[in-house]
Amino acid sequence: MRGAHVSELIDNPTRAHVAAAVTAGRRDVLLDTNPASASLGAVLREGKPGELRLGFVAPLESTQGNGVVSGGTLASMLDLAMAMAMLSVLPPGRVCATINLSVNMLAAAKVGPLVATASVERVGRTVGFARASLFDASGERLVASATSALSVFDERPAP
């Protein structure tokens, strides 16, 4: 960890939670350590470092007038899935934040369960790259896909 003393670093609770679950091989782990993942009912279905399958629940409040889940909600699910995959490979004291997100909407999504798969493509010293796909509850119909670049940096305590 470049230029930082280990005693100055703190571990992000979400990174620690995801990494511990993946390392232990746990399944169906509720990801409620931050408001964004909690609001989407995020659950780690299964995974290994750098490759995760997550479940989400698209709430009724996320629909447009036609009953279709908004693209913003789907993008949030994909973004969270890629960030969680990146966190699963980062060491304690390191975190990430999305700096670029490209999403392709491929089919309408309805209220209810959705499944995301996310994988880390590359992690450098300051930037990592990931990709994700979002499927309907059956896991067979592709709803959206995304790629992202994420800034990787040391977590610091609040001043």
pLDDT digits (tens, 9 = 90+) for 106-153: 999 999 999 999 999 999 999 999 999 999 999 999 999 999 999 999
6-154 has which fold? Answer: Thiol Ester Dehydrase; Chain A (3.10.129)
How much is the pLDDT for 19? 95
C-alpha to C-alpha distance for 109 and 136, rounded to whole angstroms: 7
pLDDT over 60 at 66, yes or no: yes
The confidence score (pLDDT) of residue 141 equals 97
Predicted confidence at residue 8, as pLDDT, reads 61
